[in-house]
Amino acid sequence: MVLLIQPSILSAQQSETGRLEVQVTDAATNQLTPVRVRLSRHGWVIKKLPKEAVPVMYGVWDHADGYEYQPDSSFYVAGKFSLNLALGTYHLSLAKGPEFLEQQYDLQIKAGQVNQQNYQLKRWINMPEKGWYSADDHIHIRRSPREDSLLLTWTQAEDVHVGVMLRMGDFWETYYPQYAWGEKGVYQKKDYLLTSGQEDPRTPELGHALGIGASDKVRYSKEYYYYDKVFDKLHELGGVSGYAHQAETFHGYRGLTLDGLRGKIDVLELLQFCASDKPLLTAHYYHLLDLGIPITAVAGSDFPWCGKDHDKGPPERSARLGNVRFYTYVDEPFNYNTWKASLAAGHTFVSSGPMLNFEVNGQLPGSKLEVSKGTTLHITAHAYGHSSQVPLQALEIVGHGQVLGRITIKESGQSAEHLSLTLDVPAEQGIWLAARAYGNSSQAAHTTPVYVQVDGKNFYNPATAPHYLKLSEKYLGELRRELKKRRADPQYQAWHYRAGLERRIAETRSLIKEMKKTLK
């Protein structure tokens, strides 16, 4: 039997539509709240945007790769939207960063009808109430005053309280311009703000440098490979400096060694999806810490360059603002200056899901604790998660890179939503202490250490210092060999700066020689 349908009837059915009207509020305030939205049908994203979608141009190398849609075809709205849709069943996803519970709904669109939906987004944890404010230190989007309110809606929709917009540079050019720096470049509404920073210098031989919080941009085009000049100027301008990408990619460990041992850097991006789909990479961080060099842990998405789906094509296809972030403790009214002061003090932890609370004798991460030998160190660590969204697996207290205590969800009194661990240990020698937690394969968190000095002696690790000093020499030797190569590839320019870099290598080697005498 063959069923024939007149073309005019089929056309009429296809042209029939219904209307979807959605309003999203924060359950705590009952106010409209910015949110990330994804609308699909039969697994395919709807190629139709509401007029309320908030557009900003973005792309790798500052190209116009995207505007209204995010890389995964989500979009941002300020709290409500409406669309005329063809008849059928649709799937709606709502999200607002890791502290809010994601929501999924199936909706029916019927001919001539309006489907009105009011949703409330609920938190499973409220970190600002505890004094901790999230930040993404690595966002690449060009910014003028026109984009400020639009970009803030984006970061609010991901619940990122501080969005650091980085001007990016290389030997030849700069990208993602920012219209102002320092306080003049701050745009704030309530407890969300945007600020300017820089990822420059960036070279394949020394890694990618970061500058946050300075009152102006810093770039020495004719001395491009002398990162220390940039770092010194950033400090003079009230900023902090460091290295991106866990110092894993672009030989960043060379630059980290060259500048870290000479006391030029403050921060290291410890959590990110650029190098691996396992975002917490600690090797180079522990290297400097065990040599007695304090470094604050930060984290950033590197939007729109990096996403977590490394096994599903280019990672930029899953790029997302705030997919990793760092939290800063601010015990004063939250603003740019109080946040910057707390960042400079090192009161941070990094996270892609789990939340941490860590103290040593009541002192926060980043604190320097001076005690006498034999003093009891009371160490407390708590990890917080959610059974379905951020299911905790383990919590560890780490000292000098070694696990001093570990707890898992299998042990009595512990759960996927809360893990706690307490240690009381005597202070026998200087030590750095930190907490780290794990959820699923892409969810991890790590604090900046508390630095314990005993009888005035530094927190370096005498057991590993010889190894790390030898490793430092290896990295410097690697850099020296690189400088001898006269490369034709225009990306590689370090050999042009051989004399100046070799002076810096010699200076660092002199420090290593002295450290061999003192770090025993």
Q: For residue 304, say if its preceding peptide bond is cis, omega within 30 degrees of 0.
A: yes
What's the pTM?
0.95
Helix (H, G, I), strand (E, B) or coil at 406: strand
Q: Which two tokens stand for residue 47?
A: 């190629």
Average pLDDT over residues 8-34: 81
Query: Which amino acid, residue 253?
Result: Y
pLDDT of residue 313: 63
For residue 503, what is the enclosing H or E element? helix 498-518
Residue 473 pLDDT > 90: yes
310 pLDDT tier (thresholds 50, 70, 90): low
Residue 279: in which H helix or E strand, if any? Answer: none
- Going by pLDDT thresholds of 50, 70 and 90, the confidence category of residue 5 is very low
Where do the DSSP E strands lie in 124-201? 132-139, 162-169, 174-175, 187-189, 192-199
User: What pLDDT score does 324 carry?
Assistant: 98
* Per-residue CA distances from 499 to 177, 221, 223, 477, 496 (Å): 32, 17, 12, 15, 8
> What is d(CA 76, CA 91) in angstroms, rounded to the nearest whole number?
16
Average pLDDT over residues 129-156: 98
> CA 515: distance to chain centroid?
32
Q: Is the peptide bond before 201 cis (omega within 30 degrees of 0)?
A: yes
Q: For the chain, list the domains and their CATH numbers.
A: 13-121 (2.60.40.2190), 128-454 (3.20.20.140), 467-518 (no CATH)
- Give the residue-averaged pLDDT of 388-395: 98
Question: 308: pLDDT confidence band, cut at 50, 70 and 90?
Answer: confident
pLDDT at residue 230 above 70? Answer: yes
Q: How far is CA 388 from CA 106, 121, 295, 394, in A?
A: 19, 16, 33, 15
Q: Is the pLDDT of residue 11 over 80?
A: no
State how far Cα 452 lies from the chain centre: 26
Q: What is the pLDDT of residue 316?
A: 72
Give residue 309's pLDDT: 73
Mean pLDDT, all residues of the chain: 96
| Rounded percentage of the chain residues whose pLDDT exceeds 90 | 94
pLDDT digits (tens, 9 = 90+) for 82-113: 999 999 999 999 999 999 999 999 999 999 99
Cβ contacts of 150 within 8 Å, gap of 6 or more: 54, 55, 56
Instruction: Look up residue 138 and give its amino acid.
Output: H
CB proximity list for 498: less than 8 A, separation 6 or greater: 483, 484
The three-point CA angle 425-395-247 to 5° equals: 95
Q: Which residue stretches of 207-311 are H helix?
A: 227-236, 252-260, 283-290
Mean predicted confidence (pLDDT) in 15-38? 96
Average pLDDT over residues 468-474: 99
Whether residue 3 has pLDDT greater than 50: no
pLDDT score of 193 more than 60: yes
Question: What's the pLDDT score for residue 90?
Answer: 98
pLDDT at 345 over 70: yes
8 pLDDT exceeds 50? no
Q: What is the pLDDT of residues 352-385, one digit of tens each?
A: 999 999 999 999 999 999 999 999 999 999 999 9
The β-bridge relationship of strands 162-169 and 192-199 is parallel
